[in-house]
Amino acid sequence: RSLLGSLGKSRAKFISAEETTGVSFSDFAGQEYIKRELQEIVQILKNDEDFQDKGIYCPKGVLLHGPPGTGKTLLAKAIAGEAGLPFFAANGTDFVEMFVGVAASRVKDLFASARSYAPSIIFIDEIDAIGSKRGGPDIGGGGAEREQGLLQILTEMDGFKVSTAQVLVIGATNRLDILDPALLRKGRFDKIIRVGLPSKDGRLAILKVHARNKFFRSEENKEALLEEIAELTEDFTGAELQNILNEAGILTARKDQDYIEREELLEALKRQKGTFETGQEDSTEIPEDLKLRLAYREAAVAILACYLPDTHRSFIETNIKSIRSRPNMHYDETPGRVFSRKIDYVNSIVRACAPRVIEEEMFGIDNLCWISSKATTEAAKLADLLILQTGMTAFGKAYYRHPGDLVPNLAPKLEALREEYLRYAVEKCFSILREYHSAVETITDILLEKEVIKAAEIWDIFEKAPRLPQKH
């Protein structure tokens, strides 16, 4: 469907109610509880008066947060599509201009247009571009300008009366941590929903959505193939899964074949992985600066493995011969029965932080690259495991249904607890790596020279290393 194009000065895209976004909740798969929560909001939007009689009002703002490509924009469009309301889409970066006063007037403009079509929906993607913490680092300049824009958003949201026609504001961000807390206060974005990476079942459901218009030999064949791909795509986003199916479709057409087969799907998967993971085995092709980063990463992982040993496995050796988004360290499973205590789960979170912590420490936060990007998701996953599945935290096991399907109202509580564990883990990891900084450097040097280092040598360095005194 075509968009009506840019809307006056505000630059926002406008889709009228008659046209609709053409997107419904059935286009979003996985994380069913998110849909249930948003469906409730759509119900209220559609039957405003009935609900108001009962004293129930629609939230003014819904904030969707989570990694890019997880379907936040899709959900915002689905809300508009399902409610049959006009949709105004803007991007936080549209408001950030160097000329004084422009940001605020663009925001004003956008809200005025939306109000004239109310009930309607405003979607602001990358809201962090304009809504980051005031007084924070001024990346890219334009700080004062951005602040004006943010203040204007706050004014506009405070301005609508709950009793008058609704403008629902949906924001999306992958940086909840840098948003100005004023945005999250009651009466502004008071509904915060995390859109996370899909679970295996979620991935299968997403693949099925995007396989709807594709041809397979048979239903059973399709089911089996998608099941296999879902299994192989841990940590993939919905957007990446969609790419795999599209790419497989293209490969199939190129071969003049009628049906997508296993071969095309696996080839498409390999290509999709290749966009962030080369898996090269020949280190001569790895650029020097990447080698240095890899060496530091492996050294940090090794030190953490010595300091907080894993009860389930012991490490054998590591190398910098290949580039993967996960550490190259090899392990041996510990034989026999192993039981984990709470502290073991906590330690696993601390260990998972190592690639990210060392990269930030050595190269600076603005120079992070993808070789440490999996560490954050890994640590968050381990924290969720501890919180939700072990019964060892305040959550117990009672609230847990399936991965990614939490009883709705508990999501913010989970988030708070997860953040507490992650903050602890990052700090602990930092302090261990600082204490053992000289051992990290030694292991890094050996890796750069020989490309491989074995467990015995790592232990030796760890035990003999001069340590920096700990701050308490």
Shortest separation between residue 128's beta carbon and ligand ADP, angstroms: 13
Shortest separation between residue 68's beta carbon and ligand ADP, angstroms: 4
Q: Determine, following the binding rule CB under 6 A, whether residue 153 of this chain makes contact with ligand ADP.
A: no
**Of the residues 176, 239, 392, 446, which one makes contact with ligand ADP according to CB under 6 A:** 239
Q: Determine, following the binding rule CB under 6 A, whether residue 22 of this chain makes contact with ligand ADP.
A: no
Closest CA to 459 of 305, 326, 352, 355: 305
Q: Which stretch binds ligand ADP (CB under 6 A): 85-93, 146-154, 234-242, 361-369?
A: 234-242
Q: Determine, following the binding rule CB under 6 A, whether residue 203 of this chain makes contact with ligand ADP.
A: no
- Angstrom distance (rounded) from CA 204 to CA 240: 13
- Angstrom distance (rounded) from CA 333 to CA 344: 16
Site residue total, ligand ADP (CB under 6 A):
16
Whose tokens are 């403009």? That residue is 109
Q: Determine, following the binding rule CB under 6 A, whether residue 196 of this chain makes contact with ligand ADP.
A: no
Shortest separation between residue 435's beta carbon and ligand ADP, angstroms: 39
Q: Which is nearer to ligand ADP, 119 or 171 (CB)?
A: 171
What does DSSP assign to residue 308? Answer: S
| Window 56-115: residues binding ligand ADP (CB under 6 A) | 68-74
Q: Determine, following the binding rule CB under 6 A, whether residue 35 of this chain makes contact with ligand ADP.
A: no
> CB of 86 within 8 A of CB of 120?
yes
Shortest separation between residue 235's beta carbon and ligand ADP, angstroms: 14
Q: What separation in angstroms does the CA of 262 have from each of 75, 239, 411?
A: 30, 20, 37
**Of the residues 20, 21, 173, 242, which one makes contact with ligand ADP according to CB under 6 A:** 242
Binding mask 337-366 for ligand ADP (x = CB under 6 A): ------------------------------
**Of the residues 85, 121, 122, 172, which one makes contact with ligand ADP according to CB under 6 A:** 172
Q: Which is nearer to ligand ADP, 172 or 387 (CB)?
A: 172
H helices within 211-339, ranges in order?
219-232, 238-254, 262-274, 288-307
**Of the residues 209, 232, 266, 448, which one makes contact with ligand ADP according to CB under 6 A:** 209
Q: State the DSSP H helix or E strand holding residue 89, giving kind and residue range, or none if neither.
A: strand 87-91
- Angstrom distance (rounded) from CA 316 to CA 459: 11
Residue 298 annotated to the active site:
yes
Q: State the DSSP H helix or E strand holding residue 345, giving kind and residue range, or none if neither.
A: helix 342-352
**Of the residues 7, 12, 20, 28, which one makes contact with ligand ADP according to CB under 6 A:** 28
- Angstrom distance (rounded) from CA 117 to CA 16: 9
Q: Determine, following the binding rule CB under 6 A, whether residue 382 of this chain makes contact with ligand ADP.
A: no
- Angstrom distance (rounded) from CA 286 to CA 282: 8
3-state secondary structure of 451: coil
Q: Which stretch binds ligand ADP (CB under 6 A): 25-33, 180-188, 274-282, 406-414?
A: 25-33
Angle (nearest 5°) at CA 221 between 219 and 224: 110
Distance in angstroms between the alpha carbons of the first and the last residue of the chain: 61
- Angstrom distance (rounded) from CA 82 to CA 25: 7
Q: Which is nearer to ligand ADP, 260 or 329 (CB)?
A: 260
Closest CA to 61 of 195, 184, 194: 184
- Angstrom distance (rounded) from CA 73 to CA 69: 9
Q: Which is nearer to ligand ADP, 86 or 404 (CB)?
A: 404
User: Of residues 240, 264, 298, 359, which has the active-site annotation?
Assistant: 298
> CB of 130 within 8 A of CB of 96?
yes
Q: Determine, following the binding rule CB under 6 A, whether residue 249 of this chain makes contact with ligand ADP.
A: no
Look up residue 181 and give its two tokens. Answer: 């807390």
**Of the residues 85, 193, 206, 350, which one makes contact with ligand ADP according to CB under 6 A:** 206
Closest residue to ligand ADP using C-beta atoms: 238
The catalytic residues are 298
Which residues make up the interface to ligand ADP (CB under 6 A)? 28-30, 68-74, 172, 206, 209, 238-239, 242
